[in-house]
Amino acid sequence: MTPEERKILSPLARQLREDYPDDWSSLKYQINDGAEFCEFPYYMAAVEFQEPAHNAIAGLNNDQKSTLIAQWRSKPRFPYEFNDDDRILRQYEVILVDLLVKRARQAAARTTEF
Protein backbone atom coordinates (compact mmCIF):
# COMPACT_ATOMS: atom_id res chain seq x y z
CA MET A 1 0.00 0.00 0.00
CA THR A 2 1.38 3.40 -0.93
CA PRO A 3 1.55 6.21 1.63
CA GLU A 4 -1.19 8.06 -0.25
CA GLU A 5 -3.45 5.00 -0.17
CA ARG A 6 -2.74 4.53 3.53
CA LYS A 7 -3.56 8.21 4.18
CA ILE A 8 -7.05 7.68 2.74
CA LEU A 9 -7.82 4.10 3.80
CA SER A 10 -6.49 4.08 7.38
CA PRO A 11 -9.01 6.62 8.70
CA LEU A 12 -11.78 4.70 6.94
CA ALA A 13 -10.71 1.47 8.64
CA ARG A 14 -10.61 3.20 12.02
CA GLN A 15 -14.06 4.69 11.44
CA LEU A 16 -15.54 1.33 10.44
CA ARG A 17 -14.08 -0.26 13.54
CA GLU A 18 -15.64 2.44 15.70
CA ASP A 19 -19.00 2.44 13.87
CA TYR A 20 -19.40 -1.36 14.04
CA PRO A 21 -18.05 -2.42 17.44
CA ASP A 22 -20.07 -5.65 17.58
CA ASP A 23 -18.80 -6.76 14.17
CA TRP A 24 -15.27 -5.76 15.17
CA SER A 25 -15.55 -7.83 18.34
CA SER A 26 -16.93 -10.79 16.38
CA LEU A 27 -14.07 -10.55 13.91
CA LYS A 28 -11.46 -10.55 16.66
CA TYR A 29 -13.21 -13.49 18.35
CA GLN A 30 -13.30 -15.51 15.12
CA ILE A 31 -9.64 -14.78 14.51
CA ASN A 32 -8.73 -16.22 17.91
CA ASP A 33 -11.33 -18.95 18.28
CA GLY A 34 -13.16 -19.47 15.02
CA ALA A 35 -12.64 -21.14 11.70
CA GLU A 36 -10.40 -19.45 9.17
CA PHE A 37 -11.14 -19.94 5.49
CA CYS A 38 -8.43 -20.12 2.87
CA GLU A 39 -10.21 -17.56 0.68
CA PHE A 40 -10.86 -13.89 1.21
CA PRO A 41 -12.36 -12.51 3.42
CA TYR A 42 -11.04 -15.38 5.60
CA TYR A 43 -13.65 -15.02 8.38
CA MET A 44 -17.44 -14.90 8.30
CA ALA A 45 -17.39 -11.81 10.51
CA ALA A 46 -15.35 -9.98 7.87
CA VAL A 47 -18.26 -10.36 5.45
CA GLU A 48 -20.20 -7.97 7.69
CA PHE A 49 -17.72 -5.23 6.75
CA GLN A 50 -18.17 -5.57 2.98
CA GLU A 51 -21.21 -3.31 2.68
CA PRO A 52 -19.84 -0.68 5.10
CA ALA A 53 -16.55 -0.72 3.15
CA HIS A 54 -18.49 -0.19 -0.08
CA ASN A 55 -20.30 2.77 1.48
CA ALA A 56 -17.08 4.21 2.88
CA ILE A 57 -15.32 4.15 -0.50
CA ALA A 58 -18.43 5.50 -2.24
CA GLY A 59 -18.55 8.32 0.31
CA LEU A 60 -15.08 9.59 -0.47
CA ASN A 61 -14.87 12.95 -2.17
CA ASN A 62 -13.81 13.15 -5.82
CA ASP A 63 -10.24 14.20 -4.97
CA GLN A 64 -9.77 11.17 -2.72
CA LYS A 65 -11.23 8.85 -5.34
CA SER A 66 -8.97 10.37 -7.99
CA THR A 67 -5.97 9.92 -5.72
CA LEU A 68 -6.79 6.25 -5.17
CA ILE A 69 -7.28 5.66 -8.89
CA ALA A 70 -3.98 7.39 -9.66
CA GLN A 71 -2.22 5.34 -6.99
CA TRP A 72 -3.68 2.14 -8.40
CA ARG A 73 -2.34 3.00 -11.82
CA SER A 74 1.04 4.11 -10.48
CA LYS A 75 2.37 0.59 -10.02
CA PRO A 76 1.74 -2.90 -11.37
CA ARG A 77 -1.04 -4.76 -9.54
CA PHE A 78 -0.70 -8.19 -11.10
CA PRO A 79 -3.02 -10.07 -11.45
CA TYR A 80 -5.44 -7.17 -10.92
CA GLU A 81 -4.84 -4.97 -13.94
CA PHE A 82 -8.10 -3.03 -13.99
CA ASN A 83 -8.56 0.04 -16.17
CA ASP A 84 -12.12 1.04 -15.34
CA ASP A 85 -12.28 3.65 -12.57
CA ASP A 86 -15.36 2.09 -10.95
CA ARG A 87 -13.70 -1.35 -10.93
CA ILE A 88 -10.59 0.11 -9.32
CA LEU A 89 -12.69 1.70 -6.59
CA ARG A 90 -14.49 -1.62 -6.00
CA GLN A 91 -11.10 -3.23 -5.53
CA TYR A 92 -10.32 -0.65 -2.85
CA GLU A 93 -13.41 -1.91 -1.00
CA VAL A 94 -11.73 -5.32 -0.87
CA ILE A 95 -8.46 -3.74 0.22
CA LEU A 96 -10.29 -1.90 3.00
CA VAL A 97 -11.84 -5.13 4.31
CA ASP A 98 -8.43 -6.80 4.12
CA LEU A 99 -6.95 -3.91 6.10
CA LEU A 100 -9.63 -4.43 8.76
CA VAL A 101 -8.81 -8.15 8.94
CA LYS A 102 -5.10 -7.37 9.37
CA ARG A 103 -5.82 -4.88 12.11
CA ALA A 104 -8.23 -7.27 13.80
CA ARG A 105 -5.52 -9.96 13.84
CA GLN A 106 -3.19 -7.57 15.62
CA ALA A 107 -5.91 -6.50 18.05
CA ALA A 108 -7.01 -10.08 18.68
CA ALA A 109 -3.48 -11.00 19.67
CA ARG A 110 -3.69 -8.34 22.43
CA THR A 111 -7.29 -9.10 23.47
CA THR A 112 -8.42 -11.36 26.27
CA GLU A 113 -12.07 -10.24 26.29
CA PHE A 114 -14.40 -9.96 23.32
Q: pTM of the entire structure? A: 0.89
> How far is the C-alpha of 84 from the C-alpha of 66, rounded, in Å?
12
Confidence of residue 25 (pLDDT cuts 50, 70, 90): very high
What's the pLDDT at 114?
A: 55
The DSSP annotation for 42-97 comes to: -SHHHHTTHHHHHHHHHTS-HHHHHHHHHHHHTS--TT-----HHHHHHHHHHHHH
Q: Which residue has the higher pLDDT, 33 or 106?
A: 106
